């Protein structure tokens, strides 16, 4: 994986207006992906699902038989990790090389492996730099960026930072509904294991200073989108 800590055309990037970032963090099943995508659509912004990069790398590693609990092996796997993602909320896709992995990265085998990938500091540093370069070169007036540590690490200076959360049982039910053909109990167990593992790397359950909490436990999809758009408007972003 190429180190993207510096955009390819730094001079051009410096001459273009800065891209407005809306940073949204939250645990799995909180609705952050679907809500962030819809918010981006209504704002005319780009949409960046940062978790897809870690999932895609986990898929890449698993496909090659890599033990994702082995940090050195994970780093080796990044050497030929050819990653691409759409920032268009209306035409979302994820690719690794020539393979369209948009659906494959949501498989339980990938969910089980992704924490092992995300916990490697060198991987996180390189991927976070890639996110910043993607946003800077998006060609959009703004990008809604969602993930685990966007409000604290990737874009701590974003004008709008939101922690979108929900009660554990609600999150488990939502994630089970998203993944057809899988046992609800198995999905809930996988979600709990991933939250536990990921919380050792980043704190995505507690809002940092200056971050607004939106709790979607009692909200449906439209109400959650409206709540998020309300926070964004209060932050002066339109």
21-to-41, 53, 82, 99, 157 alpha-carbon distances in Å: 14, 18, 25, 29, 9
User: Does residue 6 register a pLDDT over 70?
Assistant: no
Annotated binding residue 65: no
For position 21, what pLDDT does the model report? Answer: 97
Confidence of residue 198 (pLDDT cuts 50, 70, 90): low
In a domain, 6, yes or no: no
Establish if 68 belongs to a structural domain: yes
Q: What percent of the chain has pLDDT over 90?
A: 67
Residue 26 annotated as binding site: yes
Residue 137 annotated in ligand binding: no
Instruction: Give the domain CATH number at 170.
Output: 3.40.50.300
Residue 131 in any domain: the answer is: yes
216 is in an annotated binding site: no
Interval 117-166: pLDDT, tens: 999 999 999 999 999 999 999 999 999 999 999 999 999 999 999 999 99
In a domain, 220, yes or no: yes
Round to whole Å and give the CA distance between 182 and 48: 27
194 falls within a domain: yes
Q: Is the pLDDT of residue 180 over 90?
A: no
pLDDT tens digits along 9-26: 434 444 567 899 999 999
Q: Which domain holds residue 160?
A: 19-234
According to the annotation, is 33 in a ligand binding site?
yes
What is the β-pairing status of strands 142-147 and 46-49? Answer: parallel
Q: Is 207 inside any structural domain?
A: yes
pLDDT at 96: 97
The annotation status of 31 as a binding-site residue, yes or no, is yes
**Segment 69-114, tens digit of pLDDT:** 999 999 999 999 999 999 999 999 999 999 999 999 989 899 889 9
pLDDT at 194: 66
The number of folded domains in the chain is 1
Confidence category of residue 3, pLDDT binned at 50, 70, 90:
very low
Residue 31: pLDDT band (50, 70, 90) is: confident
Indicate yes or no: pTM above 0.95.
Answer: no
The pLDDT, as a whole number, for residue 178 is: 67
Q: Is residue 187 part of a domain?
A: yes
Looking at per-residue confidence, does 173 or 226 come out higher? 226
For residue 17, what pLDDT is reported? 72
Work out the angle between the directed axes of helices 51-63 and 108-118 (0-180°, nearest 10): 110
In a domain, 53, yes or no: yes
34 is in an annotated binding site: yes
> What sign has the CA pseudo-torsion 11, 12, 14, 20?
negative
């Amino acid at each position: 994986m190429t180190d993207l800590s510096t955009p390819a055309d730094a001079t051009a990037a410096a001459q273009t207006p800065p891209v407005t970032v809306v940073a949204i963090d939250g645990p799995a099943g909180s609705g952050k992906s679907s809500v962030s995508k819809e918010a981006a659509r209504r704002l005319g912004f780009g949409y960046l699902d940062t978790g897809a990069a870690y999932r895609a790398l986990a898929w890449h590693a698993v496909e090659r038989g890599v033990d994702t609990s082995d940090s050195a092996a994970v780093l080796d796997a990044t050497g030929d990790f050819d990653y691409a993602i759409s920032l268009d909320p209306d035409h979302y896709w994820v690719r690794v090389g020539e393979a369209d992995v948009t659906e494959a990265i949501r498989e339980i085998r990938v969910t089980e492996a992704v924490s092992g990938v995300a916990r490697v500091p060198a991987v996180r540093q390189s991927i976070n730099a890639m996110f910043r370069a993607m946003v800077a070169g998006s060609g959009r007036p703004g990008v809604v960026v969602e993930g685990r540590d966007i409000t604290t690490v990737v874009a701590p200076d974003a004008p709008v930072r939101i922690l979108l959360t929900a009660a554990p049982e609600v999150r488990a039910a939502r994630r089970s509904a998203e993944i057809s053909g899988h046992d609800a109990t198995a999905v809930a167990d996988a979600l709990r294991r991933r939250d536990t593992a990921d919380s050792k790397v980043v704190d995505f359950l507690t809002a940092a200073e200056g971050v607004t909490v939106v709790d979607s436990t009692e909200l449906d999809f439209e109400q959650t989108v409206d709540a998020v758009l309300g926070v964004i408007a209060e932050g002066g972003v339109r």
